[in-house]
Structure formats: structure tokens, C-alpha cells
Amino acid sequence: MWLYLAALVGLYYLLRWYRERQVVSDLRDKYVFITGCDSGFGNLLARQLDLRGLRVLAACLTEKGAEQLRDQTSDRLETVILDVTKTESISAATEWVKERVGDRGLWGLVNNAGIFHPLCCTEWLKIETYVDVLKVNLIGLMEVTLSMLPLVRKAQGRIVNVSSILGRVAFFGGVYCSSKYGVEAFSDVLRRELQHFRVKISIVEPGYFRTGMTDLLWSLGKIKQAWEEVPAHIKEAYGQKFFDAHHNGVKQGLLRCSTNLNLVTDCMEHALISVHPRTRYSAGWDSQFFFIPLSYLPTSLADYILTRSWPKPAQAV
């Protein structure tokens, strides 16, 4: 019986491997629009797709980021300045894309732009921080998608939304997790609504990677700043020892972040060029072999595994 089961599992993965190897034709005629290309995943993906011959339309937040990207790529790649928190910027970028793609439409939309907040307890963050993160990571993603959707529908193309493994397992960073859970839900609804238009939606869920958002000095500096600005009664509740232990724990976690960003951009590329893209891509060993299995455990057991090493606040009961 076990032999038959193993054979069936092996056959399933063999068929999936063969199916996912099939690549879309005429890639050199297809346009892909990517947000957040100043650095990190978006920057690497833009260069990666440019090497494959696709027509990359890269959105950067700054002219400096756009100029650096153009210097590293072919003449096919074009850049535009985009702030996903501003409706007028999104509208202007959409018109810019429409002028370039014409009647063929937009084959791929990659919603990659995102920000993180200080890696600290939810209670330490100001409400302005919550609003800023949600504006970029969720509302901005939604507005860009809705603005570009007619162009993607015309091409019967792809939408790739970058979520996070923290959109599957809420571990820390309450508002960041909330924004990524929102991305997951929005993508699921969109996938079901657009299936009859032959538009495919994929979600990429990276684990911990070393990008600008997880820069060690920036992150630790932001934690200290957040702690210094919290009200006195919150400091008393948690205590300096808790902060010191938390600060050290974050530092050790950031030092373990993967530097192989291709694990993420390869998933994005596959979602864009495969005839049969996956609905979800878990990028990174921590994502695939720790967080995803953890998400299927009973909640009480997952809570214990995730928090057993956390320090206790000074006023813990």
C-alpha cells in the first residue's frame, strides 16, 4: 500500500514538473509592469526579465533609482516614477503604460512595492505608522491593480502580488502582517472573479530575505527610536530588560536573512512566463519548511512554537 502511495505522489510531482515547464510563446512581444524597482526584489526582477527579452516597464519611487536601473539594463527597459500612495501618480503611470502597450494590452503586472515598520511590539507603534504601511502595502496595491486591470484583461495576462510568509502566519509586526493578510484576501477574490477572463493571479510569499527593508542598522535604529518614543506607562509595562532581549532577538533574526533574492524573483518570473503558473509560491527555505507546515498546526501548538523563546514583560502576570 505504501509503495503504491509513494508511486502516486511521485507521479503527481513528475506531471506537475512537466506541466510547469511549459513556457508562454512570444515573450519578446509582452509587456510587464513592475512596482518598487528602486532596489530589492523589484530591481532584480526587472533586470532578470530584461535579460529574457521581455519588455519591462519599471516603476521607481525616485529618479535616482530609475537612472541606476536604466544603466544596468538594455534599451528595451523603460522607467516611470510612481508613488503608489497617490492617486494622481497611479493615474499618470497607467496612461504612460497604455501609450506603450497599445492594443496588445499589459501581459504582466507585478505589485512588488512595499514598506516595513520598526520590528517591535504592536503597542509601541504610532497610528501614523499603521496608516503609512497600509497605504503602501495594501491600498496602493489595490489601486494600482484596479487602474491597470483593463490593460491586463485585454492581454489575458497575469497579476503577481507580492505578499509575505507573514501573510500566512502572523508572527510579529502587527500592521505589516495585517497588510499582507489583506493582499492574500484581495488576490484570492480577484483570482476567482477574473477566471472567466483568462487572467491568472499568483501570490508570492517570501520568507526572510536581506533587502533594504531588513537592513540591520536601519532596523535596529528604528526599534530604538520607537522604544524611546513610547509613553512611560508602556515602558514600565514591558521594562528595559524586555527591550534589550527583544532588540538582541531581532538582531539575530536579521543576521540569518537569506541573501539569495533569486529564490523570490525566480518565483515571480515563473508566474509570468509559465503556461500554468501556481496560485501561490512560497519563496525561501524558511517559508517552505517551517512557516508553511506551521500554518497547518493547531493554533495553540503554533503559538507555543512561535513564542516559547520570547522574553517576558516586566509586568507579566
| Active-site position among 12, 18, 31, 176 | 176
Q: What distance in Å separates the CA atoms of residue 93 and residue 294, rounded to the nearest whole number?
A: 40
Annotation says 176 is catalytic: yes
> In what helix (H) or strand (E) does residue 154 lie, and over which residues does it extend?
helix 141-155
Q: What distance in Å separates the CA atoms of residue 113 and residue 78, rounded to the nearest whole number?
A: 17
> In what helix (H) or strand (E) does residue 206 lie, and over which residues does it extend?
strand 200-206
> If DSSP codes are grouped into helix, strand and coil, which group holds residue 3?
helix
User: How are beta strands 200-206 and 78-81 bridged, if at all?
Assistant: unpaired
> If DSSP codes are grouped into helix, strand and coil, which group holds residue 120?
coil
Amino acid 218 reads W
Pick from 176, 171, 100: which is nearest to 137 by CA? 176
Report CA Rg, the chain.
Answer: 21
Residues in the chain: 317
Q: Quick one: 123 exposed, middle or buried, by C-beta within 10 A (0-12, 13-18, 19+)?
A: exposed
Measured distance between the N- and C-terminal CA atoms of the chain, rounded to whole angstroms = 52
Q: Which three cell numbers stand for residue 42?
A: 523589484
Tell me the DSSP string of 4-19. HHHHHHHHHHHHHHHH
| Helix, strand counts (H, E) of the chain | 14, 7
- Active-site residues, by number, are 176
